[in-house]
Amino acid sequence: MRRIALCLGGLLLAPTLGCRPATMAGAAPEPVLTNPVRMDAWAAGAEVDETTRGRGDLKYEGVFRLPLSGDWTFELPDEGRWALSRLELGTPAAHGDFVLAGSSRHPGLFVIDRLDGRLVRTLETTGPVQAPPVPLLLETETEVEVPLAGTSHMVTRTQVTVEHQGWLIADTFGSVWRLDPDLEPVWDAPYSAGSGIYRAPVVDGDQILLGTTKDQIQSIGLDDGAWRWSYKRDVARTSMELAILGAPAPIVDGEEVIAGFSDGVLAGVDRTSGRVRWEVRVGDGQFPDIEAEAIVDDGVLVAAAFGGPVLGLDRTTRRVLWTVEDAGAVSSMELADGMLYTSDSKGRVHSIEVSTGAVQWTWELPNKILGPPRRAGGSILVGEVDGTLYALDRFDGKRKWRFIPPDGTRLAGVATAPAVVGRQVLFPSASGTLWSLIAESGTVSDRSEEPAHRTDRVVGW
């Protein structure tokens, strides 16, 4: 074998490298917030009110708040054919009454009832689905006349209508499907990229952009799924080289498509032809691989290597503006209000100011491996690959909460970024369980997750 592929960087290295559960000397006591007992009408295991059918968003509408508690679980299928340790990297997607999720151990896309976790339907795929399903949403703007408050005059307003047009699905065997809102195929046949896809396809006008595990970007037509162009980076490898598997998705910035590759190079290619416009080296050393999608914010282009560093580049000239040497990105990074959140290979989450590169805070679990972070209200949710799910205060990095399964069983690890939709949080665990957690409804004493109630922390947020 010329390459040994690892999901989410060094995650599967844990047993080999002697990573073990850490005993933290002087560890802080459990946060005050714990999992509350479900006391309202949406209690876990309670019968679903049938009047909510067709209005799945109603159950979970509202503001994300801590603490969260168990809502329902779904056991992902497992064919038992894969020899590697189970690692679920697929973030599920929720829309209306349904949740779409894949399993690392079984082909197929599973359509799950969003209200109670029942399997509704299984869509056939070539291989396991680990890339998040992508909703196709069409925004249309129309001019409407409305009365001006307190007067008899009419004024023209712009009304934006969002229409759900279906889904894009990609699997680890490299097959891509476009589905209509009823989850029926739109193309005559799926597109075959020729190598694995682990990140969500990117819609750019009338084309779809794919990042594959062979250091390649591919463009296909949104309407017909036909190949348009591709760019493949030639990466020299030795017979014993350990190649990290991740294949970050490309991003679109103006007329360029920007993507990172396993040799540590960030490249910009023409979005209509795939011709290379520029290259910048980001990573070096043992693990130079770029596993995180680049991020553009207010003129700064941010890129990170698996083993570090994190770079802030001038968006136009690619001149290095700042460098954080002691940080990296094992997977996708998160941007919120000018702050970058990233998990590195040393079990740390960093909060970095994009404009200056200043590290605001760092949170660490020694000898642990973390998944990618996800912003939720005033919190950062991050999973531990052989542990559980944590919530950090995104302003100071202090741990506010961790999830304790209500049945007392071991969660067995969270390696992906959770999906946060209203009061619902969805994520798969390494045990093969898809979890739905839910925040309390109604008024609660802790309103710190709401922007209007965080003015004591950040003025004007």
pTM of the entire predicted model? 0.84
Lowest mean pLDDT among 26-40, 234-248, 336-350, 353-367: 26-40
Comparing CA positions, the residue from 170, 199, 172, 169 lying closest to residue 184 is 169
pLDDT band at 133 (very low <50, low <70, confident <90, very high): very high
Residue matched to tokens 């941010």: 302
φ, ψ (nearest 5 deg) of residue 52: -90, -5
- pLDDT at residue 441 tops 90: no
Lowest mean pLDDT among 50-59, 71-80, 165-174, 257-266: 50-59
Q: Domain spanning 295-402 has what CATH number? A: 2.40.128.630
Q: Write the class of the CATH domain 131-139+160-281.
A: mainly beta
Q: What per-residue confidence (pLDDT) applies to 239?
A: 45
- pLDDT at residue 430 tops 70: yes
Comparing CA positions, the residue from 350, 382, 384, 355 lying closest to residue 367 is 384
pLDDT in tens, 221-248: 999 999 999 999 988 765 444 455 568 9
Average pLDDT value for the chain: 83
Q: What per-residue confidence (pLDDT) applies to 327?
A: 95
Q: What per-residue confidence (pLDDT) applies to 2?
A: 34
pLDDT band at 46 (very low <50, low <70, confident <90, very high): very low
Q: What per-residue confidence (pLDDT) applies to 451?
A: 56
- pLDDT at residue 370 tops 70: yes
Location of each CATH 2.40.128.630 domain in the chain:
131-139+160-281, 295-402
- pLDDT at residue 439 tops 90: no
Q: What per-residue confidence (pLDDT) applies to 151?
A: 76
Q: What per-residue confidence (pLDDT) applies to 95?
A: 84
pLDDT in tens, 47-87: 445 544 556 678 898 888 889 999 999 999 887 766 556 78
- pLDDT at residue 23 tops 70: no
